[in-house]
Structure formats: structure tokens, C-alpha cells
Chain A
Amino acid sequence: MAVKFRDYYEVLGVPRTATSDDIKRAYRQLARKHHPDLQPVAERGRAAERFKEINEAYEVLSDPEKRSKYDTVGAGWKGGMDFTPPPGAGGEWRSADASSFDDLGGFSDFFASLFGRPTSTGRGGRTGVRIQVPGNDVEAELPLTVEDLLRGGKRRITVNGGRSLDVQIPPGAREGVVMRLAGQGGPGVNGGPAGDLYLHIRTAPDPHYRVTGDDLEMELPLWPWQAVLGGEVRVDTPDGPVTLKVPPGTQSGSRLRLRGRGLPRADGSRGDLYAIARIVVPERPSAREREAYEALKRGATAPTDRPARV
């Protein structure tokens, strides 16, 4: 098995002559900067990889026994070179300072080629009991469209290790809602339970509908005479076209409610859809339209030269 040599000193950014205090300090600084839980969800996966590297480097350099073995074996190698471990390397080891993130099985092949795979832990020594270690939690984003929130249905996602999973979008799914899929996170070690998968729902902006809580909003462009006189207009809703009654004297910005045509809630009911009136004036009125507007101007009985407010 070809593995790349890892320069643990470079990972921690310390010289080979660093004291154990230097190493501890460098580790603490890097851990504080790269801890996955300090990053937004979208960047957590990448940070977790980096944090693992930092932990692995610290695991080796903070333990005098491992560090001296690494220094002896590692002399002459540079980071990234193909590495062949010397005979006699490997075996078993114990974690000195287990972090919840170094899920033990998560150390690199390079690490394993030098120090072996962890099979025992605790004070009992190398032949001690096999400790079950739970797997890591995995946090990921689940991007959904407004259409997905409306229709529900299944969404195929690929989780770590390339496994694919069909997730049913629950009614009540919204931006920021989190789903916990128990046991779908990282695998456990020595038969320990798998971690959980947390899916954070994100919604992409929709060209037609804006989401506000359980309600949807859409624009309703109207001609001036439709707004003044009222009438019936056809609008496209998520459930198909409907006829909407525009009351006479509808102002721009008026919210016309279509009850129960918003997003589905967990209890089976639905939010509302609001059509927001936007009055659109004809940019190039025909001669007849112009005449009609001129007549309207002459006949206007409004008290001032222009409306006092919007």
C-alpha cells in the first residue's frame, strides 16, 4: 500500500526542535482556529479534514515515544513523498488524549503504517479490552427548492463513503430546519455505534415565490384599469392556475390572500399564498389608450395635482 509521508511538524507549523510546550501551544492555536464546530455548516466538512490532520500530528508529536519513533523513521523523508514503512512498524497503540473528533479509525494510512491501527485503549495496556468508540456526527446541508418544500417527496443524497440515501422531505421542511438521521453518520470503531447525520435544510431562492414562514409571496402585475375597476385575473399558483378576484381600488403593494396555498405544515395544514399587486403602466400606449388617458385626466376629480401618498 503506497502512502504519502506526512510532515507532522509542518502540519503544526513548528520546527523539528520544538519543545513539548511549543507543540502544545501550536496545537491549541490551530485547534481553536480549525475546530469544525467553529465553522458555518457549509465549511464544516473541509475543516473536519484539517482538524483531523492537526489531531493526528498532535497525537504523534505530543507523545515522546511516538515522536521519537517518528523522528527516527521519518529522517530523510519529506511531506508528500511515497513512503514505505520500515519492517517492524505498525502494531497497536493507545490514544493519549482522545478528542471527540479523532474517531480513532479516522487517522491516515500513513499513521497506521507507522503506529498500526488502534485496537485497545485505557490503562489495561496493549491486551486490554476492546473499547467501543462511537462514530462521528456528520453535518451536511440539504439544498431544497421551494418546489421541494411544497411537494415533499424523496431526495437522494450521497453521504460520506459514497453511500446513497433516499430521504423523505417531511411536511414542515423549511430553511434552517434540521433532520437527524440516527446512525447515518461516521462508522463506529470496534463495534461502537455509528454517529448521526444532521441535515440542515437550505432553500434556494425561487424565481416566482418568496418564502416568509409558512406563507409564500408572489408578484401580481396589474394594468392600471384592472387595479381601479377590479376584475378577475388568472394567476399561476403552486397548485396550478386559479382565478383571483381583484377588488376595485387595489393599490400597488396590496396583498391578496389565497388561503391554504402556501407551504405544508407538519400538522397537515398549509400556509397562505399572497399575491402582491404591482401596478404596471403601459410603456407605449396606443393612440386610443392615450386618448382614454387624456380623457381620464380631464375628467379627474382628485383633489390635488398628484397623490399625497403612495
Chain B
Amino acid sequence: MPRTIRPGEVLLSFDELATAAGITRGRLGRLIRLGLVEATGPTTSTFTAGTAAQLRRMIRLHVDLGVNYIGAAIIVDLVQRLERLQAEMARRRDH
């Protein structure tokens, strides 16, 4: 049975993001105040699924490797830059 993508699969509310990341609303609020999580959707309280994926990665890095949240945010950002560079290199190879 085919699944249809609902808006919640690309955009998430504050509560949905906390659930997706497996953290409390209080902790999510702190991470937002620290500037480590940004509202990326059309309003200041909507988030993209990409942010949820990033947040999950930050939390795993924190739990598994003991990296603090700021360090984890930097790592996630650098890995994304690496991905973009690799994608750009692949595009240039194809042309």
C-alpha cells in the first residue's frame, strides 16, 4: 500500500521535532536558545526534516563520543559541507 508523504514528513512543529529527536521540549528549547537548532521552515516555529536529521546526529555524537553540543553542531556542519563538495565534484566529473 503506497504511503503518501504528509507535510509532517518534510516540515515539523516544535513538538514534533522534540519527539523526532527523542529529547524533551525543555532541552530542545535550550538548544534553540544556544543557536544550535534553527527554525528553517516557513515560520519561526517550523523546522525541516533535515533539521531533525541533523539534531539526531548531534545527539548521537554527544552520547557516543562525548562531544559537547557545540562541537557536535560544528561536526554536523562540516560533514554537510563535505557532502556538498563531494556532490559538486561528482557533478563536474559527469560533465
Contact = CB atoms under 8 A, between A and B. Distances in A.
Q: Do A and B come from one complex?
A: yes
A100 B20 contact: no
Interface string B1-15: 111110011101000
A281 interface: no
A41 B83 contact: yes
A35 B61 contact: yes
Contacts of A166: 1-3
B1, B64, B75, B82 interface centre (most CB from chain A within 10 Å):
B64
Contacts of A200: 50, 53
Contacts of B61: 35, 37-38
B9 A181 contact: yes
Size bin of chain B's contact surface: 20 to 34
Contact of B65 (A35, A137, A181): A35
A165 B3 contact: yes
A270 interface: no
B1, B57, B82, B91 interface centre (most CB from chain A within 10 Å):
B57
Given A37-B75, A39-B79, A180-B52, A154 B59 contact: no
B65 A205 contact: no
Interface in A196-211: 196, 198, 200, 202, 205
B9 A170 contact: yes
Size bin of chain A's contact surface: 35 or more
B10 A40 contact: no
A169 B5 contact: yes
B53 A205 contact: no
A177 B64 CA distance: 26
Interface string B30-60: 0000000000000000001110110011011
A295 interface: no
B70 interface: no
Contacts of A39: 79
A172 interface: yes
B94 to A, nearest CB: 5
A169 B63 CA distance: 33
Interface string A29-59: 0011001011111100000000000000000
B29 interface: no
Contacts of B2: 154, 166, 168
A5 interface: no
Contacts of B86: 40, 42
Contact of A101 (B12, B50, B60): B60
Nearest to B90: A205
B27 interface: no
Contact of A37 (B3, B5, B76, B83): B76
Contact of B50 (A99, A178, A182): A178
Contacts of B3: 165-168, 181
Contacts of A38: 61, 75, 79
A300 interface: no
A100 B64 contact: yes
B82 to A, nearest CB: 6
Interface of A: 31-32, 35, 37-42, 99-101, 134, 137, 139, 154, 165-170, 172, 175-182, 196, 198, 200, 202, 205, 266
Interface of B: 1-5, 8-10, 12, 20, 22, 48-50, 52-53, 56-57, 59-61, 63-65, 75-76, 79, 82-83, 86-87, 91, 94-95
